[in-house]
Structure 1
Amino acid sequence: MLPLLTLAALYIAPRAVRATPCVAMDINWNLYAFGLNGKDWSAGTQDSWGSGTATDVTASGRPPFDGTNTTCYLAQFSNAIYVIDGDKSNPSDIHIFDAGAKSWSTQKTNAGSFDPASATFILDHDTNVFYAVLNGELWDLDMGALVTANSSALNWNDVEATPYGADYKPTMALAQNHIHFIGVPGATTGDLDIFVIHFSFFQPDAQAYPSSSGSTVLPAQHGKTSSFFQAAGVQQEFAYIPDDGSATYVVNVESNTTQTVAGPSSKDASAFYFAGLTALVQVDSAGAVSYLPYNQNDTAANAAAKWTSVANLASAAPASSAAASGTGTAKATGTGSASSASGTGSSSSSGSSSNSSSSGSSSDASAAAAVSARGVMATGLAGAFVLALAAIAV
């Protein structure tokens, strides 16, 4: 027998909704972690990451951070953090965090055939223009100097076809207002293709980025990237982490060389990375945040550096639950455990258990429970009460 209140509770009970957290820094290099335990946190500057507890900066108007391709970017001139695909219900929205005011606004866009949930992005430093690649096409969107959203939708524009075809899964990195493409079809290992933003063209020849000794070190694998900021001026280096997490490669486009430093402790192809002035930060898909110290002028220190947990974020939002955000509605199913109405579920009334008020067989009770469960999904809460009464009568 399945009591009425039990079935109703199963239908309306909250469940965790999986979040897609991301990290970013403001122009004072305070680290923010968005979407951990359904909240947003400030870990402060790097000297405070090792102890204490991060500050809750959750504010109204924030996105739910439940997209499939959520990414965060710093507009250095504006001290604004832009969030792409932070809301799976409205993937074309760009959410803007004003880092000075600690407030949110939502910028509408006209995406047309462009799908932000499936594209790969960079935000150009000087122009504040997003560039994205999707199915072999290069797109752009101009953010102007936005710190808060305006009332007019911004347009995603189809710029041109890339030379790489629709099958290339892009790995893109920004440095010196150039987009660097890793692992393009037919490329020589260690060489990167380049799109020159200010002249809007693809360079005809690839550029090699060997180690300082001249050996080829860059693999041609898909991965994630993030550009190291300067206190002023454009980025000159970017970090590239292959999906296997075997190493971190730092490419310097001034010297055309590559350093090889420690790979992240969490080998997670779905992790997100953000580089500031002196650290590369990773948030993995479980919500664990760690960082690799980096000195743009000391290769020996970089070679010895190790990944370390951002302790004050771990204290505020433990990784075991950090990627669970918000609440939802648990739906009853025909089989399952604590969240399902089932004749075999571990916390629901079982058809095989005895009950002094049951007048039917155990198989009848199980069948009635299963029908009730399916009815909950089909008819909603009102139907749940009717179907529960039917189950009690069996």
Structure 2
Amino acid sequence: MSNPHAITATKSWLIVRPQTWRQIGSDLAYILPGFFISLASFTALVTLFSLGLSTIVIWVGLPILVACLATARWFASVNRSALRRWAGDIPPVHYREPHKYTISGMFKNLADPQLWKDFTHGVFVSFAYRTASFCIAITFLGASLGGLTQWIWLRFLPPGNTPLAEYIGLDELLGVSPAAAESWLGLAYGALFLVLLPFITHLLAVADAAMTRALLTNETAALRARSEELTASRAQVVSEEASTLRKIERDLHDGPQQRLIRLQMDVEAAQRRIATDPDGARQLMDGALEQSREALAELRQLSRGIAPPLLADRGLRAAMESLATKSTVPVAVDGNLEHGARLAESAENAAYFVVSEALVNVSKHSGASHAALSVHLSPTELFLEITDDGIGGAHVGKGHGLSGLMDRLAGVDGSLEIVSPAGGPTTLRASIPLSS
């Protein structure tokens, strides 16, 4: 999300305009604190790197080097936050998954190229540049303010001071006293530095931002990693769906299909005996009726996990209200998703199964007395939030239903967040892009 206060509109360079001063303030708020951040990062990283490198031969330096790069990553996140406040959206960054803190794991952690880019920025680039930019910005700011106010404070200087205007003969050229000539000189260079101030501060901020983007972001690697993650998750979803279909096929063959065959045979036998043996035919029909009931029960059991006709016919809001009605725990439904509103089929199915699985977990495991379902629709995303007042402790573990939800959401580029401290309450939040 873009920073609404970032200087992204048309720049103003006229010093008398308020937007020019807002731009100067924004640029200085980015430049000046950056110097102190770079000073702290330079000191910490040089110390840790020197200590780690000098003790690497006795293996003590290995965890110190890992800590050095972790510190560089932290300072990089601080710099990215500052850049985001100044510029709005910035490119993403990608780090490799951290390994365990074994010997081999620490060596693998040291092989992350983005961590070394963070270190390079913190030691070699930002400190040198920001020291210079800090001095330049302070010089221009001080010279402009000092020159424009020189006519006030000049009279308080010690007696015997020789003004610059007198050295260069400006008083004789203008035909005024040395003090007056010095005041006019101060106003002249103060005004010049003030006019140049917005150009200089913005140039310094733009150059700093360019170096920060170059070293502390890596859009290509981030997009590549995201693509690999989506490919793997979607392959997992496809594999699970194929496995589910095979299971349904086996269950249909072994259960309802066999009962329907038996039902057909009983009905045909009853038809043959209805004239000669009515009692026997009645027993066969009773058995056929029982077979039909069991087949219907098995079909209902198999249909769980398959999107219901209500979702296809009346939309997501009606299907979710139906789930809330069937829940053993009272569920209040709210949100701005209207009845009859239709979304992409993949988004509707994913949202339905998220709510279905979440409410099943609430009924079975939470011990809650009340739950709430909130469904909010934005132009680009669908947001779901399910809360309950139960005992908490829900987590995403392999083999659990919530883990399956994460895989299902990953297949539509969605995300899942679970907040469930011990003692409750539990909050499950899911977001589903509408363009997935």
Q: Common fold, TM-score beyond 0.5? A: no
**Higher RCO (C-alpha 8 Å, min separation 6):** 1
Report which of the two structures shows the higher radius of gyration computed on alpha carbons: 2
Task: State the TM bucket, normalised to the shorter chain.
Answer: under 0.3
TM-score normalized by the length of structure 1: 0.21
TM-score normalized by the length of structure 2: 0.20
